[in-house]
Structure 1
């Protein structure tokens, strides 16, 4: 059933909100993607505090135009799945590439990253970068490491002394 003008305007508004909130948007082809695979991909994106939408190309093009963004014409001439990353810039890109590697579909056609369109080759390069959470974990580990080493160094001699005294007591108890 065709959408009414009000429904179309609502959809354009939803696209504009998603475009303004998203830190990265991956465009993937829906060709040959089964509904079960689509649901699995949507769950993975949702788990990363993102959103995935099967878009109406004409309405999405209008939303892009209103936001002063552009995509190559060949991107918008096929059924599209948009993966919006709201928290982490790399997460939707990494998820799309990993999912495509597992299932050999959907094909990542490109992405909007920092308000600029990047092609599929650059998307694959970005997927190799660590995500925000991984970077935070690495940073936390690096910040904790000097304190742990200091504690270990300060307690080493005490532990060594206790070990020597225990050995001495064990030898004395065995010798009589």
Structure 2
């Protein structure tokens, strides 16, 4: 077996391992980004704990096919980058989508979330979901509001009772 073939097989294995480990994978066409823009994008992704790589399409297709992600093959046309998310499944889609709003040359192509293949439209919808901590804060806020009103009501009842007692004691 040739040295080149062994290197390619090792790279396919590496991609396959990353795809298995990641709970979200997003593919994007990056052609046309300047070095500065690409550096900024990589920094944003790295800060969010997302691994961002560029592999040969043929090697990525082989790895995806081995894992049963055959439908994702359509995403591999032209120069494609891959973002691997390990924590928040929506984070890679959100960051790439937000970046593409200011940098029109970056285009989401599709992805795999928890083993399910998503097309470009579904990935963009996923990108609109707020981060986990924002969702938790909204939930806590919605739980806190009725409790706050209830506490306010109890305090008002208590103060009214005290003022009535005070009034009664002054009258007697």
TM range (shorter): 0.7 to 0.9
Separation in structure 2 between the aligned mates of residue 138 and residue 80 of structure 1, nearest angstrom: 35
Instruction: Classify 1:58/1:156 alpha carbon distance in 2 versus 1 (closer, same or farther; 3 Å).
Output: same
Q: Tell me, in whole angstroms, the C-alpha distance in 2 between the residues paired with 1:21 and 1:136.
A: 25
Secondary structure, aligned partner of 2:82: strand
Q: After TM superposition, give the deviation of residue 101 of structure 1 in Å.
A: 0.6
In 1, the alpha carbon distance for the partners of 2:159 and 2:108 equals 56
Report deviation, 1:135.
1.5
Cα-Cα RMSD: 2.6
1:69 corresponds to: 69
Deviation at 1:31, TM superposition (A): 1.2
TM-score, L = length of structure 1: 0.76
Aligned mates of 2:101, 2:81 — CA distance in 1: 17
Does 18-27 or 108-117 show the bigger shift? 108-117
Please say if residues 97 and 124 of structure 1, whose CA atoms lie closer than 8 Å, have aligned partners that are also in contact. Answer: yes
- Where structure 1 has 5 or more consecutive residues not aligned to the other structure, the ranges are 162-176
For residues 26-81 of structure 1, what are the alpha-carbon distances to aligned partners after superposition, in whole Å with 9 as ceiling and x for unaligned? Answer: 11112112222112112212222211111121221221122121245442232111
CA distance in 2: counterparts of 1:13 and 1:153, whole angstroms: 63
Output the CA distance in 1 between the equivalents of 2:139 and 2:10. 42
Contact 1:99–1:105, Cα closer than 8 Å, also in 2? no
1 CA distance for matches of 2:148 and 2:130?
25
Partner of 2:108: 108
- Runs of 4+ aligned structure 1 residues displaced above 4 Å come to 3-6, 156-161
How far apart in 2 are the matches of 1:99 and 1:159? 54
Corresponding position of 2:51: 51
Q: Distance in 2 between matches of 1:21 and 1:137?
A: 28
**Structure-2 change in CA distance of 1:6 and 1:156 (3 Å):** farther
User: Number of matched residues?
Assistant: 160
- CA 1:8–1:135 in structure 2 vs 1: closer, same or farther (change >3 Å)? same
